[in-house]
Structure 1
Amino acid sequence: MFDDITDVPGIRVGHDTNLEAGTGCTVVLCETPAVGGVDVRGGAPATRETDLLHPLCMVDEVNAVLLTGGSAFGLDAASGVVRYLEERGVGYDTGVVRVPIVPAAAIFDLPFGSATIRPDSASGYQACKSAETATGPLEQGTIGGGTGATVGKMLGPDFAMKGGVGSASQELIGGIIVGAIVLVNALGDIIDLQTQQVVAGTRNAAGKSSATNNPFGNTTIAVIATNATLTKAEATKVAQMAHDGMAHVIRPAHTMFDGDTVFTLALGDKTSGIQHDTATAAQHVSTLGAAAAHTLARAIVKAVRQASELHNIPAASSLL
């Protein structure tokens, strides 16, 4: 176990990073189609294919999820993921062609590095290629979609600290694994679960006014993955509960200036034929949701602790 999302069987992760521009993207690939769910809580989301994950919609398989920088521009990187999967014959079979199902979400990192260089189709494709050769523990911190992430921007970017990519996992009874990966780019501060102290956040800004600072530059986006078997409705509930993990360690979270979004990917055997009564199914989903919240909270803290200073924005590690 690496204590990251790749501990979930069938999950691979790849990054594409542009340190100079301060941006990048991260892809979560599913070796077998996953049942997907999503819950969007923030007031300023930049997303793709989230409606498709609604339990009332037909398609119930997901082939990958993209987490990217570049705001709405960066969603173009999803087309590179689609191209990569199509070349390998992966996607929903429509009878005439297989259509890769790739939901995506973006963070707003445009003020960091370059506002005119963003992840594109080539970036998404390269992230998939890097997932092919990735071995060992997942690289975290200032990499991929978290390259330009920052936190603690209540008084504007001049007083922010570095965010980044974080990941964690937890094994439950019966061999069920819940993993999380997150891009932490929050308006709020990041709080340690145990000590309740700020790990990374707004730096000392005594005597400064926030009245003229631009608050647009946030959003925390995440993927929860599990080897459990879930329906689309159940996967959506797990995503909903996982947001509690954000609220535990990001203060404030889910503001009108954040596009906080959580996806769920359930890779359990959909043909197992296991039937649960209503109470047992509810207990199963609730347990997974609680584990997802705790795992996501740990991943968020890991993201800022493993981030490194970039473009003169300090990281928690550089202040130790």
Structure 2
Amino acid sequence: MTPGSRNLITDVPGLLVGNAEDHALKSGTTVLTAAEPFTASVHVMGGAPGTRETDLLAPDKSVTRVDAIALSGGSAFGLDACSGVSDALYTQGRGFNVGNAVVPIVPGAILFDLLNGGDKSWTENPYRALGRAAYLTAAEDFRLGTAGAGTGALAAMHKGGLGSASLQLESGVTVGALVAANPLGSVTTPGNRHFWAAHFEIGSEFGGVGPDPSSGLGPIPKSLKAQAMHPASPEKANTTIAIVATDAALSKPQCQRLAMAAHDGIARAIMPSHTPGDGDLVFGISTGSQEVEEGALALIGHSASLCLARAIARAVFLASSSAGDLLPCWSEMHDNRE
């Protein structure tokens, strides 16, 4: 298994991703779409999710294909990003046909970034416009780190961000992950230099500093995020939201199984993960262009979990500093050339 040419989720042929952000707001939106609708499902393991249209993605529900998926900051306000994406799709005549009506199907999920130091004194919810702008900029190449839905993200010890990674399997199948990492937990071991996901790093995609050689790493250090947000309730100001994708032809139930397997990537990259105060959620999608043999889903799911772990580390590694930040970037705390 090797990364695709971009090491992005858009190495899965046909997928496009767009970002829009407001750095004064310290928030933004990321949208994944494609020229044709794609099969999708979802699995939630966090205790505090914020979502739109995810009930429709259950295996027993009627609609099997969607037009786009939106990941956004803004907590509940950010769910309006889906409306902006729907507006843009509607003007293009795209959506689910019901008689002579066209209804774009745009599931979405949000993370909490309302207490990150950005200017949230808006008079009109900005996320509808951010969602539309993100959709209209969707392309094969897109920015990571402090971009899109990861613009205002914070992990326990560093700025969070937007991350992505991919793998090409020997079968010819491509797997990729896209994540906005804003967890309660830390993506680094105590000392804040080594990434929990280091065992799965390919090349130096998030610094190449390697795994932590120490043992006894189970205790959780005091969170810098919690200290920065005091006296607010930082245990409620979190969430890691992700999309894992493949060109393997998967059914809707298989896409849900793909999403479930990918949650292992969150657990491998963040300590602790899936907490009551996180809304950890993974969408699983298939563009369906590659027929696969029975039994291939196990390897595809495993690959998705590896991509997601790497994407989370890349989100933090690639974050950049901006005025008013509550937390430092990983790159500010550590010189990866040491």
Shorter-chain TM-score range:
0.7 to 0.9
- Residue in 2 aligned with 1:77? 81
Structure 1 position 204, deviation (Å): 8.0
Do residues 300 (structure 1) and 320 (structure 2) align? no
Q: 3-state SS of the aligned residue for 1:32?
A: strand
The structure-2 alpha-carbon separation of the partners of 1:209 and 1:294, relative to structure 1 and needing over 3 Å to count, comes to closer
- Residue by residue, what CA displacement relative to the aligned partner does 1:19-40 show, whole Å, maximum 9, x if unpaired? 1110000000121111101001
Q: 4+ runs of 1 displaced by more than 3 Å? A: 115-119, 195-198, 201-205, 208-213
- Map 1:144-223; keep pairs closer than 5 Å: 144-152=148-156, 160-190=157-187, 191-194=196-199, 195-197=210-212, 214=233, 215-223=235-243
Q: 3-state SS of the aligned residue for 2:165?
A: strand
- Residue in 1 aligned with 2:129? 122
Do residues 238 (structure 1) and 258 (structure 2) align? yes
Do residues 33 (structure 1) and 37 (structure 2) align? yes
Q: 3-state SS of the aligned residue for 1:189?
A: coil
Structure 1 position 211, deviation (Å): 9.2
Which residue of 284, 300, 303 maps to 2:296? 284
CA contact (8 A) 2:164 2:176 kept: yes
Identity across matched positions, percent? 42
User: What amino acid does structure 2 have at the position aligned with 1:192?
Assistant: A
What TM-score comes out, normalization by structure 2 length?
A: 0.83
The structure-2 alpha-carbon separation of the partners of 1:21 and 1:257, relative to structure 1 and needing over 3 Å to count, comes to same
For residues 268 and 315 of structure 2, the distance between their equivalents in structure 1, rounded to whole angstroms, comes to 15
- Residue by residue, what CA displacement relative to the aligned partner does 1:233-253 show, whole Å, maximum 9, x if unpaired? 000000000000000010000
- Residue by residue, what CA displacement relative to the aligned partner does 1:50-94 show, whole Å, maximum 9, x if unpaired? 110111001110110000000011100100100111111111111
For residues 95 and 263 of structure 1, the distance between their equivalents in structure 2, rounded to whole angstroms, comes to 29
What TM-score comes out, normalization by structure 1 length?
A: 0.88
- Residue by residue, what CA displacement relative to the aligned partner does 1:2-52 show, whole Å, maximum 9, x if unpaired? 000111111111111111110000000121111101001100000011110
User: What amino acid does structure 1 have at the position aligned with 2:16?
Assistant: R
- Residue by residue, what CA displacement relative to the aligned partner does 1:126-149 show, whole Å, maximum 9, x if unpaired? 111111xx45x4310001110110
Structure 1 position 116, deviation (Å): 4.0
- Residue in 2 aligned with 1:247? 267
Structure 1 position 216, deviation (Å): 1.6
CA contact (8 A) 2:71 2:109 kept: yes
Q: 3-state SS of the aligned residue for 1:192?
A: helix
For residues 169 and 210 of structure 1, the distance between their equivalents in structure 2, rounded to whole angstroms, comes to 34
CA contact (8 A) 2:244 2:259 kept: yes
CA contact (8 A) 1:151 1:202 kept: no
How many residue pairs were aligned?
298
Which residue of 47, 57, 62 maps to 1:58? 62
The structure-2 alpha-carbon separation of the partners of 1:72 and 1:303, relative to structure 1 and needing over 3 Å to count, comes to same
The structure-2 alpha-carbon separation of the partners of 1:204 and 1:217, relative to structure 1 and needing over 3 Å to count, comes to closer
User: What amino acid does structure 2 have at the position aligned with 1:246?
Assistant: I
For residues 27 and 210 of structure 1, the distance between their equivalents in structure 2, rounded to whole angstroms, comes to 28
User: What amino acid does structure 2 have at the position aligned with 1:173?
Assistant: E
- Map 1:2-21; keep pairs closer than 5 Å: 2-21=6-25
Q: 3-state SS of the aligned residue for 2:68?
A: strand
For residues 89 and 96 of structure 1, the distance between their equivalents in structure 2, rounded to whole angstroms, comes to 11
Unmatched tracts of structure 1, length 5 or more: 153-159
For residues 28 and 57 of structure 2, the distance between their equivalents in structure 1, rounded to whole angstroms, comes to 25
CA contact (8 A) 2:28 2:127 kept: no
Q: 3-state SS of the aligned residue for 1:37?
A: strand
For residues 126 and 73 of structure 2, the distance between their equivalents in structure 1, rounded to whole angstroms, comes to 7
For residues 152 and 229 of structure 2, the distance between their equivalents in structure 1, rounded to whole angstroms, comes to 22
User: What amino acid does structure 2 have at the position aligned with 1:289?
Assistant: G
CA contact (8 A) 1:93 1:99 kept: yes
Q: 3-state SS of the aligned residue for 2:320?
A: coil
Structure 1 position 119, deviation (Å): 4.1
The structure-2 alpha-carbon separation of the partners of 1:234 and 1:24, relative to structure 1 and needing over 3 Å to count, comes to same
The structure-2 alpha-carbon separation of the partners of 1:285 and 1:116, relative to structure 1 and needing over 3 Å to count, comes to farther
Do residues 103 (structure 1) and 123 (structure 2) align? no
CA contact (8 A) 1:23 1:119 kept: no
Unmatched tracts of structure 2, length 5 or more: 188-195, 200-209
For residues 36 and 228 of structure 2, the distance between their equivalents in structure 1, rounded to whole angstroms, comes to 51
The structure-2 alpha-carbon separation of the partners of 1:116 and 1:40, relative to structure 1 and needing over 3 Å to count, comes to farther
For residues 80 and 136 of structure 2, the distance between their equivalents in structure 1, rounded to whole angstroms, comes to 17
- Residue in 2 aligned with 1:256? 276
CA contact (8 A) 1:69 1:119 kept: no
